Structure 1
């Protein structure tokens, strides 16, 4: 029952992340706002998620894992219903930001629930089952989201979350486990505020500059406030008693190098997913269902071969995989430049998606292993949370810069520019890995 609760509570967060991209064109058609609205629908969620995901662990220590999980589930359900009923784009964006707060409580709390109740080989198996089930959301999301958009309404996409959340809350009542709190634990509220303002101010400037221009006091003012707040956040982490992001973790070479590589690689993934999902509908004219399924081959490759790649990386070390994988994925992104006015998925899109998928398969598992393997196992939880936050923030910034990259609209030329930038980010991730990652000696 513990494992089922952990899977269901994470599943809704992963599912929501995959269905939203498919629904973006329909949302902007219904509520208006064009590319700016589409960017904010994604980034409003990622701002609060990326800023607060590090706080979830501290909240679990102070309030208890089960309490935090219940708060996250109820908040996610309420905001999902509000998003589905949104009368305006502005209301929807505010609800997405609040949904990100709830989402920040779900994934770390569900993993903490597993690590607290399973030990040894059983824990490894439980995490494996959790990973497989949440990966299933990556397959189900685009298909379900596309079908709802094409046959029913984009609004119903957000109501999908309500049933699994209701079931999870029922199972939590049936579970009857005592909750645990850590004596003396504190939440770094000031750090959370500084991080949120830092990300929010910077992202606001990046998204709205296309409308207001860089010379606008609103743009350069919000960028200045954002950068100063984020600098203050880092300074706060240096001296806080219970920091959200312990900076001493970055003394480990593979940890800081792996996180730099993560920033480039996951920024590229978010940029590619956003632009491809929108262009296939608005530019190539595919229905939402087919646009959602377009990237499915890459996900299938990851599911089939990630465990094998992880085993080989454990044998040979992660450096080779983290170098070759991103560069191969960059080649897949460049293959998407073959997309032209006479659109053909099978010859213009599928080859690039397959090469891209093989590159990701070589990258993701060794990347995670290198980062977590660089840190003592007693601190693997916070190390994983930091890496998760880095990947979310990288995606947040990449989506915020879409208008700058594509030139204002995701037409064919804009799509090609985004493909080149995606390839460049991936290639930089591979170079960073080659120069920085070190293979540790096997016992």
Structure 2
């Protein structure tokens, strides 16, 4: 049960001094800690629910709207692309104009875009609406974490982030089976209406109970946002084209070249802007920061590929119903949901080095177990063991990683820091989804063999992520 307001006061009557204490993140200073956590959990759960449900719905969407191996990955990447490219700007905008204000704006945009997805008459409208969803998520995600980072400190921050991560896992757990049942019973369009009651609850709680942060007087880096978006868009398009056709072409090479040039332009722009950049290059003078960035890219890239390919393998290769495929992912999210809070507390006590070393290595072992995955065989012996080990490893890494990133910057820049780390995580998933077209394009009878290769590649990346944490993080 969530607590009453402190001292029985209406949140609107909170004093300016109390709001300043909250913004500085002093322990116990936040006026409504559990309501604050509830608002950020509900907001971020929108992104988690949507991602998990869409992965399960991909075959049904493709069949209804006429998507093929070249276009199906874009149903996911149309969402991930703006989410990856604009998370930094979304976090910086919260630092600039107020995190609560931007959180509510992001939720509202996400909800409206969800209605657009549900009503989409064709693939083009669906992709446009998915893009708007990604923009909304890019605003709400870093500001939900930024609010947590500035509202709590010390062990309280670890507990809050662990609770936030657990709620995201629970949302991911509920999404696939509920969405799968809705797809089978009503149709894929119904899954987007799931976002609306969550969005309404998040807006009401945030507007009433979450304190506004102190705005910064710093211009937003629009040129950096445009360059990052164009670079990721070019690279994603080129990789999707290459993977779906199982070979490079002049167009894919041109896209890769343009993406690299745009990335170099982004780096040059950020260097010119200095401290006014949305991604200050001075951050990369820190070896732990570089290590956390590489770990995030590798670990979430491996995980993103799995969450796209495994439901597709079960539905297309194993004739699972959408509901069954959703239930197949349930143990993964349950394990993360029950263990993330404990992992967050542990990381606050012993530091992030060992959790972020052991967790990814265990995750890699789980990916290696999936070389036994056979969609025609028993789920309990061929799928569940690997999935459970992956979940155990990720549970040990999710909350410590988030806490380590939030603790690496001062309170004024928690929105930017969480935005950058989330951007790197989504970029890993974006690249993995683009490459997943190589698996989606093969005939159903050959899916299992290609999936096994993808599982081994994911295992290598996850284990490498753990080694990077061991070598770069302080004892």
Aligned partner of 1:423 among 442, 445, 459? 459
Q: Which moved more, 1:144-153 or 1:233-242?
A: 233-242
Q: Which moved more, 1:338-347 or 1:190-199?
A: 338-347
SS at match of 1:160: helix
Cα distance in 1, alignment partners of residues 371 and 45 from structure 2: 34
- Determine the structure 2 residue equivalent to 1:89: 123
Q: Which moved more, 1:239-248 or 1:310-319?
A: 310-319
* C-alpha spacing 1:419/1:201, structure 2 compared with 1 (3 Å): same
1:38-94 CA-to-partner distances (Å, cap 9, x unmatched) read 211111111101111111133234444344234322221221111112122222112
Aligned partner of 1:199 among 210, 232, 235? 232
- Determine the structure 1 residue equivalent to 2:200: 166
Contact 1:255 1:370 in 2 (8 A): no
* C-alpha spacing 1:306/1:168, structure 2 compared with 1 (3 Å): closer
Deviation at 1:115, TM superposition (A): 5.2
Contact 1:406 1:418 in 2 (8 A): no
Contact 1:254 1:371 in 2 (8 A): no
1:277-303 CA-to-partner distances (Å, cap 9, x unmatched) read 111111111111221122322322223
- Determine the structure 1 residue equivalent to 2:25: none
* C-alpha spacing 1:434/1:109, structure 2 compared with 1 (3 Å): closer
Deviation at 1:384, TM superposition (A): 2.4
1:168-193 CA-to-partner distances (Å, cap 9, x unmatched) read 445566x3988666353211100000
- Determine the structure 1 residue equivalent to 2:78: 44
SS at match of 2:276: coil
Cα distance in 1, alignment partners of residues 282 and 395 from structure 2: 30
Deviation at 1:215, TM superposition (A): 5.8
Q: Which moved more, 1:326-335 or 1:213-222?
A: 213-222
- Determine the structure 1 residue equivalent to 2:40: 6
Aligned partner of 2:449 among 401, 405, 413? 413
* C-alpha spacing 1:329/1:112, structure 2 compared with 1 (3 Å): closer
Contact 1:35 1:409 in 2 (8 A): no
1:241-277 CA-to-partner distances (Å, cap 9, x unmatched) read 5111112122221111121111111100001111101
Cα distance in 2, alignment partners of residues 320 and 134 from structure 1: 23
Cα distance in 1, alignment partners of residues 329 and 78 from structure 2: 24
Alignment of 1:301 with 2:341, yes or no, is no
Aligned partner of 2:474 among 423, 438, 443? 438
* C-alpha spacing 1:265/1:124, structure 2 compared with 1 (3 Å): closer
* C-alpha spacing 1:409/1:35, structure 2 compared with 1 (3 Å): farther
- Determine the structure 2 residue equivalent to 1:27: 61
Contact 1:39 1:400 in 2 (8 A): yes
Cα distance in 2, alignment partners of residues 164 and 48 from structure 1: 22
- Determine the structure 2 residue equivalent to 1:336: 370
Q: Which moved more, 1:314-323 or 1:264-273?
A: 314-323
Cα distance in 2, alignment partners of residues 24 and 389 from structure 1: 23
Q: Which moved more, 1:40-49 or 1:138-147?
A: 138-147
Query: What pairs up with 1:119-198 in 2 under 5 angstroms?
Result: 127=161, 129-171=163-205, 175=208, 182=215, 184-198=217-231
Deviation at 1:315, TM superposition (A): 4.7
Structure 1 unmatched ranges of 5 or more: none
Structure 2 unmatched ranges of 5 or more: 1-34
Cα distance in 1, alignment partners of residues 375 and 104 from structure 2: 49
- Determine the structure 1 residue equivalent to 2:21: none
